[in-house]
Amino acid sequence: MGWDPTVYTIVGVAAAGLFFLIGFAGWKHRSEPDAKAFLGLITALGGWLFCYAVGLGFTTLDAQLVWQRSGLAIGGLVPALWFLFAIQYTNRGEWLTEPVRVLLIADPLVFGLLTLTNPVHELVWTDATLVVEGSLHAVEFAFGPAYLLHLAFTYVVTPIGFGLLALAVVRSTLYRTQAGLLVVGAIPPLIANTAFTLGVEPGGLPPLDYTAFAFVITAPCFGLALFRFDLLERVPVARRRIIADADDGFVVLNEDEHVVTANPAAERLLGGVIEGRPIGEQFPTDEFDLDGIEGTTLTAVVDGQQRVYDVTCSTLSDYHGRIVGYVLRCRDVTDRHTYEQRLKVANRVLRHDLRNRMNIITGWADELATHESEDVRNAGQQITTTADELMQLGEQVRLLVETADYVGQTAEVVDLGAHVTPLVERVRNANPSVTIETDLVVGAKVRIPHAKLLTISVQSLLQNAIDHNDADRPHVRVTVDPASGPDDYTRLRIADNGPGIPDAELEMLRQEDETPLKHGSGIGLWLAHWTVTSAGGTISFEENEPRGSVVTLGLQPGD
């Protein structure tokens, strides 16, 4: 049994090596939805070509048949894998019904077993002869019924897969380059196999089955699709962003603003299957403008209920940076929208209704303050004090609601010392019995979403340090320590000589929770905590010496 490799063997083995290289490079993407079918196809093509090319180097019929049987058995996987890849690539999973799945498994499995055991039954080929032309030795088969059935299966599923990819080239720029390379790579082996089946012999060339050698063109095309055009990364670019079970709606558009695909949530929102249609005709707005859709709010009736969605738009680009499509995300914010509406109503009640009624109560309490009875006068004073506390509490809640409007805004840079100085002066003037010292460094800049957040947190802490201070001579000290480096915080410290912050209050702040059985005495500390942490900063609490508390705000340094 001699082995005398010819140029056909060398070319075939080299092309098979390229297929194996493509499969090896694509292995890291094996978790992608289309990767398994693609990698299986690449491996089967390489195995088929390798066995066929190596077999051509043998000079005896028996030796060649060993390799040709193996090559045919492996090659029998190609049509099914090609069809499966085309189905997954074009997102037509609904075509994979139970009968189709059974057929895709049964044909390559049965054909492979029959090929490997052909000497027993001769169903795949009935006769095989060795044809010699120069230094080339090739096997010529007289095929049997099993091969013809497999051929019929091949000529059904292969053109369908080819057509799906061609349709992707025509219909969408999103997949055009990738799908185009796959189509171009599939044409040569399809033509070569058709010619071999019909008995058409190429002029001037030996009478071989050139199907496997046609993959010499297929390999570079598939390699370009993988390495140059991110086949296994960009094929599922839409599917990675579209989660079928997501509550949010996702719509992928091509550059002409036609729908490429959409998840079920988007179809419910937009009224059904919308693939292939212009998004402007489906979107439930009076006038659709893709350039201005980012950040808009959409209200629609879905499944018999009114829902509210925030709409965002992302672009999809090819390796040149050219825009080839868009992804619209409709985020269901109905619960948040409802909460915000009720919060605004509550804020209005606190700002107007509660204050007005407290003013009435205070007015009547002032009347009681002039009563001749000392007990009545004391009761009037208590009512006035309690009313003032309620109005102060209402003001804190109003500020709490107001902070929600500033969170998430584009950060601005504020000079911490310059910003805090007038706040301290206002508090000092309003509380002449309290000694307030400062060491405020001007020029220490911090980055926060909105300056009002800083105002609210500092005012809350200063007022808290004063209102709860039971010392004979209340004292508050406010200092600023600039950041020592880009990874450090600029720190604002507010120290007092009061009774200190109760451990129960600090524990609730650390847990960020309150319960009906365990709650704080107010929301001043909560205001400071939420406003500072929402700005990406920190808040910490220490005991002051010899008495009192030190609250430290750590804020991100600005430019």
Across the range 125-148, mean pLDDT stands at 84
| Residue found under tokens 């269901």 | 332
Residue 559 has pLDDT above 90, yes or no: no
Q: Check pLDDT > 80 for residue 498.
A: yes
Which secondary structure element, helix H or strand E, spans residue 34, and what is its range? Answer: none
Contact 14, 54 (CB under 8 A): no
Distance CA 178, CA 231 (A): 6
Q: Is 91 left (phi over 0), alpha (psi -120 to 50) or beta?
A: left
Query: Which CATH architecture describes the domain 407-559?
Result: 2-Layer Sandwich (3.30)
CATH class of this structure's domain 238-332: alpha beta
Least confident stretch, 4-18, 206-220, 368-382, 470-484: 206-220
- Of the pLDDT bands very low, low, confident and very high (cuts 50, 70, 90), residue 172 is low
For the cut 60, the answer to whether the pLDDT of residue 262 exceeds it is: yes
| Residue 130 host element (H or E) | strand 125-133
Give the mean model confidence (pLDDT) for residues 422-439.
90
Structure tokens at 372: 């001749």
Q: What pLDDT, on a 0 to 100 scale, did the predictor assign at position 350? A: 62
- Residue 118 is predicted with a pLDDT of 93
Here the tokens at position 187 are 């044409």
Specify the DSSP element, H or E, that contains 325. strand 323-332
Between 47-51, 460-464, 509-513, the lowest mean confidence (pLDDT) is in: 509-513
Residue 237 pLDDT: 42
For the ranges 111-115, 143-147, 198-202, 477-481, which has the lowest average pLDDT? 198-202
Q: What integer pLDDT is reported at residue 467 of this predicted model? A: 84
Q: Which residues pair with 298 in a beta bridge?
A: 309
Indicate the SS3 state at residue 494: strand
pLDDT band at 74 (very low <50, low <70, confident <90, very high): very high
Q: How confident is the model at residue 145 (pLDDT cuts 50, 70, 90)?
A: very high
Q: Does domain 7-235 correspond to CATH entry 1.20.1070.10?
A: yes
Tokens of 205: 């060339």
What b-and-e string marks burial along 8-35, b requiring 16 or more CB atoms within 10 Å of the CB? bbeebbebbebbbebbeebeebeebebb
What pTM does this model have?
Answer: 0.47
Residue 478: predicted pLDDT: 92
Question: Which has more confidence, 221 or 9?
Answer: 9
Average pLDDT for residues 422-437, to the nearest whole number? 90
How high is the pLDDT of residue 293?
A: 79
**Across-strand partners of 238?**
none
Amino acid at 126: T
Considering the chain, what percentage of its residues have pLDDT values greater than 70? 76
For residue 405, pLDDT beyond 90: no
Query: How far apart are alpha carbons 192 and 201 in whole angstroms?
Result: 10
Is residue 20 within 8 Å of residue 39, measured between CB atoms?
no
Is the four-CA dihedral 275, 281, 285, 288 of positive or negative sign? positive
Structure tokens at 143: 């095929």
Chain mean pLDDT for the chain = 78
Q: Which two tokens stand for residue 383?
A: 């009512």
Residue 495 has pLDDT above 90, yes or no: yes
| 180 phi, psi to nearest 5 deg | -60, -45
369 or 404, higher pLDDT: 369
What is the 3-state secondary structure of 525-539?
Answer: HHHHHHHHHHCCCEE
In angstroms, the Cα distances linking 556 to 210, 438, 445, 460 are: 68, 21, 9, 20
Cα distance between the two ends of the chain: 79
Distance from C-alpha of 19 to C-alpha of 223, rounded to nearest angstrom: 8
Do the Cβ atoms of 50 and 12 come closer than 8 Å?
yes
**Where is pLDDT greater, at 111 or 48?**
111
Per-residue model confidence (pLDDT) at position 386: 76
Backbone angles phi and psi of 484, in degrees to 5:
-85, -10
Q: What are phi and psi of 197, to 5 degrees?
A: -65, -40
pLDDT tier for residue 235 given thresholds of 50, 70 and 90: very low
Using CA atoms, how far apart are residues 328 and 309, in angstroms rounded to an integer? 12
The pLDDT, as a whole number, for residue 7 is 80
Q: Can you name the residues that pair with 93 across neighbouring β-strands?
A: none
pLDDT for residue 12: 81
Q: Give the closest residue to 369 by CA, choosing from 393, 389, 390, 387.
A: 387
Look at residue 25 and tell me whether its pLDDT is greater than 70. yes
Residue pair 552/493 in contact by the 8 Å Cβ criterion: yes
The structure tokens listed for 421 are 């100085």
- Among the listed residues 429, 507, 514, 505, the one whose alpha carbon sits nearest the alpha carbon of residue 464: 505
Average pLDDT over residues 295-315: 79
- Cα separation, 65 vs 556, in Å, equals 75
Specify the DSSP class assigned to residue 433. T
* Least confident span in 131-145, 202-216, 517-531: 517-531
Question: Is it the case that residue 521 has pLDDT exceeding 80?
Answer: no
Indicate whether 342 pLDDT > 80: no
The pLDDT value recorded for residue 82 is 83
pLDDT tens-place string over residues 240-257: 444 555 678 888 888 778
Residue 137 sits at φ, ψ, to 5 deg, of -120, 120
Cα–Cα distance measured from residue 192 to residue 212, given in angstroms and rounded to the nearest whole number: 8
Contact yes or no for 542/552 (Cβ under 8 A) = yes
Give the integer Cα–Cα distance in Å for 400 and 527.
6
